[in-house]
Amino acid sequence: MQPGFVTPDNIAMLTDLYELTMAASYHEHRPDDRATFDLFVRKLPPHRSYLVFAGLEQAMFYLMHLSFSPDAIRYLRAMRLFPSSFLSYLKTVRFRGDIDAMPEGTVFFPHEPVLRVTGNIIEAQIVETLLLNTINLQSLIATKASRVVDAAAGRSVVEFGLRRAQGTDAGLKGARAAYLAGCAGTSNVLAGQLFGIPIFGTMAHSFVQSFPSELEAFRAFAKTFPSGTTLLIDTYDDVDGAQHAAIVARELARHGHRLGGVRLDSGDLIAVSRLVRRILDAQKLRDVTILASGNLTEYRIQEIVRRRAPIDAFGVGTELSVSADAPSLDIVYKLSEVVCGGTSMPTLKLSAGKQTYPGRKQVYRLERGQQFVGDILALNHEPVAGHPLLKPVMRKGRLVGPLPSLSSIRRHAAAERMRLPFKLRRLDEASLYPVLISPGLRRTARECRRRLLTGVGEPVEP
Amino acid sequence: MQPGFVTPDNIAMLTDLYELTMAASYHEHRPDDRATFDLFVRKLPPHRSYLVFAGLEQAMFYLMHLSFSPDAIRYLRAMRLFPSSFLSYLKTVRFRGDIDAMPEGTVFFPHEPVLRVTGNIIEAQIVETLLLNTINLQSLIATKASRVVDAAAGRSVVEFGLRRAQGTDAGLKGARAAYLAGCAGTSNVLAGQLFGIPIFGTMAHSFVQSFPSELEAFRAFAKTFPSGTTLLIDTYDDVDGAQHAAIVARELARHGHRLGGVRLDSGDLIAVSRLVRRILDAQKLRDVTILASGNLTEYRIQEIVRRRAPIDAFGVGTELSVSADAPSLDIVYKLSEVVCGGTSMPTLKLSAGKQTYPGRKQVYRLERGQQFVGDILALNHEPVAGHPLLKPVMRKGRLVGPLPSLSSIRRHAAAERMRLPFKLRRLDEASLYPVLISPGLRRTARECRRRLLTGVGEPVEP
């Protein structure tokens, strides 16, 4: 039986085989060269005008604990693929490189490095796959959550997606990313325990079904949780459900308790919420809230808000937790510079549709008042306007300082969203945010392309 | 710093809060009742005519190791939400129920339980979220992989998606699910180590870029891996790349080695593969294979195969690993029966668009020759035609026997696909497979609905 848990002990092996074959070849031919890699998104997913950076904390843990266990080395040796000198090297390898990154919660755009790795070329290569996996997942979900939260226009959004998230890690880190981007909390208990995220939960239809009648189910639940509980009222019929909830609310009130809310999970949420609100209000239950769930998207929530349906909070599951309309980012990790024997060489690739920018880079953000107006992608120390977004996070494998708390990241993400040009926050139509390429970077790219196309052993451009 | 690893110690907490609130209320009101839940998919995702069941092994590990740690209990106590008698119960709870399930690799259809849980109502409730998460992920990816493998019509498909899979668990279990459904292997080293899946890997563009010229990069790589290696030839220009690969192949041949293949990762794969094949053939390198990757889908692969492009194997990443066109299943876990005080009561829900079938059920499959022709959803021991798909897996919390090996599951999945009606294997257009509802199940549903709509405390249907 193989449960397949990813642990700090085996996570170094959660990588593509080619990272290790390349590493072995670097180890043979140029063990001391250094390299810089940029982690960035090539293009925006559909409907998106901006992205939210997330996952740095987990990525840094991975880098700080990277090591290959004796089991791992044994497995690799049995493949009869790798030179044994490389396997000896791998036994003791640690990540000792430098990381510069945007702070988590920062909004970013295509071609902007969100994380830059500089270090020994072998170390910088073998961490590629897991850095991509970690940043991809959390940035994807944070970006989606930002849209959903924006659509809710101040009403609460709770992440309910663990059951249909793509696996356990996506369930757990998705809750973190969703909270970071503005959700009020999650249904995920472990995310509550590990990350300190507020957790929410009501009841399922099965609970109601398991009792002879809905009213008995509500009474039983309210007896166990007399304060502030939420009843799910649409197992059989939502109007009857609202009436039963009202009965229980009055019974609770008689004992000094208060019903917290009711939840709707099916049907026409706008029409039904109005009906339910009227039933509750008629019974003087104005402070009993209505929570809606059931296949909600940012568009559906926007419509509900626009039509002023009396829904106080939204539970959003699958659509948020898999970023259903855009379930991956076009995220890549590209070599931008190699330093061999003290000589720095910027690099790029020319593959059809996959060109990259060479050299060690920085992203500068321009502001007018409180508003972001454009970014400049430039060489690292090129004197351009704006303030730099990539900050030192790690030097020689050690953190330069403590990472920010999740709640401060969450405040940063909220501030960032408010500073976006308003048209970038439209849900249906993507707008272009200006990302300019600096003169220095253009020049380096030109020179690099010329060198590649005329270099020794390389044919001239036809 | 919170790395957020899911471990056997904390996985019990990877659940929705409402599982625990419902459990607490059951614990107060009906601690000894028993229940049956069905895990099934309500409707097919777009373009799909069948689904492939996967994830049972990991789900069973979870059930066998379910337990709440002292840390978990401490966190729950600090919430000041749960009765302390429930927390005492939770300290020692184990899953002691019965599981019947389809064998992994079995094809299944909407409304068919793939897994049935019968046991104490509290235990059966608290395992809901994680069973859904586990079966959803692997069945989703196995179903997608089955389509991709079918499209490749005998050419190899290798799963390359770890970097953009939704998190570490999806990367690892996705590799398992893809292999189970017919992929030849994965790039994922940990999946190779833990599950014994063949692993494949070549080189990245960055490796080529890091050398002064492509030819030098190829020579360096071939020196480290002289036998059967694959060179990535499109970093700068694919025709030049093919010529450089041919040079290296001849150099290898002089030392008694053989170049394995070349990889294309961009551009018009059909046109370029023909060009590259001609270059290689002209150099008498007929046995050097061509591997293609880069945003491949089952449709793209079908087109490549139909147009007889000389591509021998496909590396499929993002599209497969997140099931991009259908990133979740409409998978649910529904109460179908409650036994209180020895009296069994079938249950269903009537919520708009979310009706379920009551009672403990079995799925029977009808065959003609080797072909599947239809299924019958029936009550557990109802005498109907066909052979039953749900088999005993666990009794009182213990496995009834060893689970099948991954390679035997893989053979079963391949056999299942061959036995599907051919029109169900079409990629573009979904076809309906007949799933009949047995007379006994219809009658139970009718009676159950009548009981609910006329029951004490329940209003009559308008």
Phi, psi of B334 (to 5 degrees): -120, 140
Q: Which of residues 261-320 of A touch B (CB under 8 A)?
A: 265-267, 318
The CA-to-CA distance between both ends of chain B, in Å, stands at 57
Q: Kindly indicate the confidence band of residue B158, based on its pLDDT and cuts at 50, 70 and 90.
A: very high
What Å distances lie between residue B269 and A42, A187, B80, B263, CA to CA? 20, 45, 61, 10
Q: Does the distance separating the beta carbons of B129 and A163 come in below 8 Å?
A: yes
| CB-based contact, A37 to chain B, within 8 Å | yes
Name the domain count of chain B.
2
Q: Does the distance separating the beta carbons of A209 and B347 come in below 8 Å?
A: yes
Scan for tokens 């890690």, then name that residue: A169
Residue B375 falls within a domain, yes or no? no
Among A35, A163, A190, select the one facing B10 at the smallest CB separation: A190
CA distance A411 to chain B (A): 18
Domain match, B151 and B288 both: yes
Q: Which residues of B touch A351 (CB under 8 A)?
A: 205, 234-236, 265-267
Token pair, residue B50, equals 């069948």
* HEC per residue, chain B: CCCCCCCCCCHHHCCEHHHHHHHHHHHHHCCCCEEEEEEEECCCCCCCCCEECCCHHHHHHHHHHCCCCHHHHHHHHHCCCCCHHHHHHHHHCCCCCEEEECCCCCEECCCCCCEEEEEEHHHHHHCHHHHHHHHHHHHHHHHHHHHHHHHHCCCEEEECCHHHCCCHHHHHHHHHHHHHCCCCEECEHHHHHHHCCCECCCCCHHHHHCCCCHHHHHHHHHHHCCCCCEEECCCCCHHHHHHHHHHHHHHHHHCCCCCCEEEECCCCHHHHHHHHHHHHHHCCCCCCEEEECCCCCHHHHHHHHHCCCCCCEEEECHHHHCCCCCCCCCEEEEEEEEEECCEEEECCCCCCCCCCCCCCEEEEEEEECCEEEEEEEEECCCCCCCEECCEEEEECCEECCCCCCHHHHHHHHHHHHHCCCHHHHCCCCCCCCCEEECHHHHHHHHHHHHHHHHCCCCCCCC
What CATH code is carried by the domain that includes residue B347?
3.20.140.10
Domain match, A374 and A440 both: yes
Q: Does the distance separating the beta carbons of B18 and A201 come in below 8 Å?
A: yes
Domain match, B157 and B276 both: yes
Q: Which residues of B touch A292 (CB under 8 A)?
A: none
CA distance B329 to chain A (A): 7
Residue A345 falls within a domain, yes or no? yes
Domain match, A166 and A260 both: yes
Domain match, B97 and B73 both: yes
ipTM here: 0.95
What Å distances lie between residue B105 and A330, B139, B284, B363, CA to CA? 31, 9, 42, 15
What CATH code is carried by the domain that includes residue A158?
3.20.20.70
Residue A1 falls within a domain, yes or no? no
Token pair, residue A153, equals 């226009």
Domain match, B303 and B173 both: yes
pLDDT of B396 above 50: yes
Residue A124 falls within a domain, yes or no? yes
Residue A410 falls within a domain, yes or no? yes
What Å distances lie between residue A420 and A49, A144, A256, B99, CA to CA? 10, 16, 47, 52
Among A17, A187, A236, select the one facing B199 at the smallest CB separation: A17
Nearest CA in chain A to B128: A163
Q: How far apart are CA B291 and CA B314, in angstroms?
A: 6
Among A61, A190, A351, select the one facing B1 at the smallest CB separation: A61
Domain match, A310 and A343 both: no
Among B169, B176, B192, select the one facing A170 at the smallest CB separation: B169
Residue B42 falls within a domain, yes or no? yes
Domain match, B175 and B199 both: yes
CA distance B366 to chain A (A): 31
CA distance A295 to chain B (A): 10
pLDDT in tens, chain A (462 residues): 999 999 999 999 999 999 999 999 999 999 999 999 999 999 999 999 999 999 999 999 999 999 999 999 999 999 999 999 999 999 999 999 999 999 999 999 999 999 999 999 999 999 999 999 999 999 999 999 999 999 999 999 999 999 999 999 999 999 999 999 999 999 999 999 999 999 999 899 989 988 989 999 999 999 999 998 999 999 989 999 999 999 999 999 999 999 999 999 988 999 999 999 999 999 999 999 999 999 999 999 999 999 999 999 999 999 999 999 999 999 999 999 988 777 888 887 776 666 778 899 999 999 999 999 999 999 998 999 999 999 999 999 999 999 999 999 999 999 999 999 999 999 988 899 999 999 999 999 888 888 877 753 333 333
Q: Which amino acid is at A148?
A: V
Domain match, A209 and A259 both: yes
| B426-457 per-position pLDDT tens digit | 998 889 999 999 999 999 988 888 887 775 33
Q: Which residues of B touch A56 (CB under 8 A)?
A: none
Where does a domain end: A321, A348, A378? Answer: A321
Residue A398 DSSP one-character state: E
Q: Is the pTM of this model over 0.90?
A: yes
Where does a domain end: A293, A321, A349? Answer: A321
Domain match, B147 and B245 both: yes
Domain match, A185 and A245 both: yes
Containing structural domain, residue B31 = 11-141+332-357+390-436
Q: Which residues of B touch A134 (CB under 8 A)?
A: 168
Domain match, A86 and A159 both: no
- Secondary structure (3-state) at A21: helix
Residue A460 falls within a domain, yes or no? no
